[in-house]
Structure 1
C-alpha cells in the first residue's frame, strides 16, 4: 500500500525544524546528499505531508509551520527555505508543571488547548509525532491517549515511558494502531557512536573495562537537562542502552553534563574507553564528536515515520520491536545497535 502519509507534529522545536526542512528538501530530489534511505517500504520522503502542528509557546501558535520552525526559542540552523505549508500551529496540551529551565525558555500561551481529537480526525492524520521536551510525562501520556481516540499511530521521541508501557501498547494494539518509542536515538549522535565503538572493539578482541560519555551542548533540550530529575532519567536510559552492547558487565556512564548557550543546536560528546588486549596490555580510546541535534534526528524520524505506516498497512500493530530498537534508546526490549539495524533493514528496506 502507498500514498501520502499524513503527519501531525507536537512540539515545534529544533528537531521539528530540521525534520520539516528535510521533508521539503528531499521531496524535491531524494538523490541529494545526506538522505539515508530513499525508500522505506514503498514510501519516499515526498509521500510525507505535515497537515497539523501543535505547541504551547505563544510565539509559535497561529504562525504557519514554515515560520514557526524558525521562531524563538528555536536555534536550529536554517538549511533550506521552506515554502508556506498552510498549516497553522495550534495550542497543544500541557499537564505537567514546567521545570525552572523550561519556564525560562517558553512563553506559554494562556487559555485552553484546541480540541485535538476533532482536529486530528478531521485532518485524517495517520501518524502523530511527539517531540515535546523531556520530563513532561503526564503530557506525553495524554498525547498517546489522544492518538488512540483519534485513530492515529504514535511516535514518542521523548524519554517518557509510552511504547515501553505494556498497558499503553495493549490499548494501541486493540485499536489496530502502532506506537513506537521511547527516547529518540540520533543517527550518528552520542549513544549510537558509543554503542558502535564498543561493539567494534569487542569484535576485535578487546576486553572493555570502563567507559564514559559526557555531552555538552546548547538548545532548549540540553538546557532542560540541567534539571536534576531529567538529567538522571536520561543518564539512566543512555547507560542502559550502551551496556547492552557487550555480553559481560563493565563500568559505564553516559549523559549530558552541561549547557553552553552559544553552542545553540550543536553538541560535543566526549568519550573515554579503557580496555585490555594481548598480555593484558592497555588499550585506551579518548576522542570527541561534534554534531547538531536537529539534523542528527532527521533521518531517523523520516525512517521511523514511514516504517510506522508500513507496519500499520501490513497489520503489524502494537509496538514493533524492529522499529523501536532501531530508532530509540529505550525500546520495550533493548537490543544491540547492529542487530537492531539488521532487523529494521530486513523488514522495511526493500
Structure 2
C-alpha cells in the first residue's frame, strides 16, 4: 500500500477510529500522480468516504495529470462537473460516475418500483427511502456534513426514474453499530391510479452492504477500459446510467440497462 495526502479524508466520526500513517502526512498530490504512472495504472477506483471532497478531487486531479481513467464510486460531483469532464477528455482518459450503485440495493429497488408504477399509468404522490447500517460507511454518514452529497445523489436517481415535483426523501438515516455490514432499507411509495384510487407500497430490503457493490465495481472498471480501448475519453454516458446513482444524464432502470448493453456489445 502507498500513502496519499490525508486532506479531509478522516474528518468527522472516522477520525476517532482510523490511525493516520505518518507517511500520509508527508506525501503530496504530485507523488500520487507519479505513483499512478510508475505502477502503470489503467483505471483508478475512488472509494473514499462520502464527504471527503478535497481528498476525492485530489485523486481526480492526479488521474488527469497521469492520463488515468477514473471510476468515481463516491457521491462527490466529478462526472457531473463539466470542467472536469473536459479536462479528462483533453487528457485522453475516461471519467465514470458519480456514486456507484449496488448490485441490488436501495436505489435500484426504489427506482425500479417507481418506473413500474409510472409505466402502468399511476402517478406517484410521495415517497421515502430510509437506510440504516452498522459499518464505517454509515458511521461516517451519521455526520450531516458528510452525508449531504449522498442525499443529493439519491435525489438525482429518483428524478431520473421519473419523479418530479413529488414530496419525498432518500438517504442514510442512522448508524446502528450491531448491524455491522448489514444494511436495511425501508422504502415507501404512494400513488394514485384510475378514478382517483390510491395505492401504497411498503418494502424492506436487507443486504450485506460491502459485497453488494463488488460486481458493479468490476463492471465499471471493464467499462472504463473498454471506453479507452475504443478511443473514447471524458464522460461516457452509455456506460454510466446503469452503474451509478447520479451520472451526468440519468435514465430509468430499463433504459439504463438497454444503454449499457448496447455499449458493451
User: Normalization by structure 2: what TM-score?
Assistant: 0.93
Partner of 1:235: 151
How far does residue 334 in structure 1 lie from its aligned partner after superposition? 2.4
Q: Distance in 2 between matches of 1:287 and 1:247?
A: 18
Deviates more, 1:222-231 or 1:307-316: 222-231
Instruction: Indicate which of 233, 238, 247 corresponds to 1:331.
Output: 247
Pair 1:99-2:1 in alignment = no
Q: Distance in 2 between matches of 1:220 and 1:248?
A: 33
Indicate if the aligned counterparts of 1:243 and 1:252 stay in contact, CA closer than 8 A.
no
Partner of 1:186: 102
Q: Distance in 2 between matches of 1:163 and 1:205?
A: 33
Q: Distance in 2 between matches of 1:167 and 1:244?
A: 22
Partner of 1:153: 69
Q: Match of 2:2, SS?
A: strand
Partner of 2:136: 220
Q: Match of 1:333, SS?
A: coil
RMSD: 1.5
Q: Distance in 1 between matches of 2:163 and 2:208?
A: 31
What are structure 2's unaligned runs of at least 5 residues?
A: none
Indicate if the aligned counterparts of 1:92 and 1:113 stay in contact, CA closer than 8 A.
yes
* 1:100 to 1:230, Cα distance in 2 relative to 1, 3 A: closer
How far does residue 333 in structure 1 lie from its aligned partner after superposition? 2.1
Q: Distance in 2 between matches of 1:267 and 1:289?
A: 8
Instruction: Indicate which of 8, 24, 27 corresponds to 1:113.
Output: 27
Q: Distance in 2 between matches of 1:231 and 1:171?
A: 27
Partner of 1:264: 180
How far does residue 293 in structure 1 lie from its aligned partner after superposition? 1.8
Instruction: Indicate which of 228, 232, 241 corresponds to 1:316.
Output: 232
Q: Distance in 1 between matches of 2:135 and 2:170?
A: 19
Q: Deviations over 1:224-246 (max 9, x none)?
A: 01111222321122122112322
Pair 1:246-2:162 in alignment = yes
Q: Match of 1:233, SS?
A: helix
Q: Distance in 1 between matches of 2:129 and 2:217?
A: 24
Pair 1:274-2:186 in alignment = no
Q: Match of 1:274, SS?
A: strand
What are structure 1's unaligned runs of at least 5 residues?
A: 1-88
Indicate if the aligned counterparts of 2:141 and 2:172 stay in contact, CA closer than 8 A.
yes
User: Normalization by structure 1: what TM-score?
Assistant: 0.71
How far does residue 278 in structure 1 lie from its aligned partner after superposition? 2.5
How far does residue 189 in structure 1 lie from its aligned partner after superposition? 0.6
How far does residue 152 in structure 1 lie from its aligned partner after superposition? 1.1
Q: Distance in 1 between matches of 2:12 and 2:163?
A: 40
Q: Distance in 2 between matches of 1:223 and 1:152?
A: 31
Q: Distance in 1 between matches of 2:191 and 2:117?
A: 9
Q: Deviations over 1:304-325 (max 9, x none)?
A: 1001101000011101011222
Spell out the pairing of 1:12-161 with structure 2 (5 A cutoff): 89-96=1-8, 98-111=10-23, 112-113=26-27, 115-161=31-77
Q: Match of 1:90, SS?
A: coil
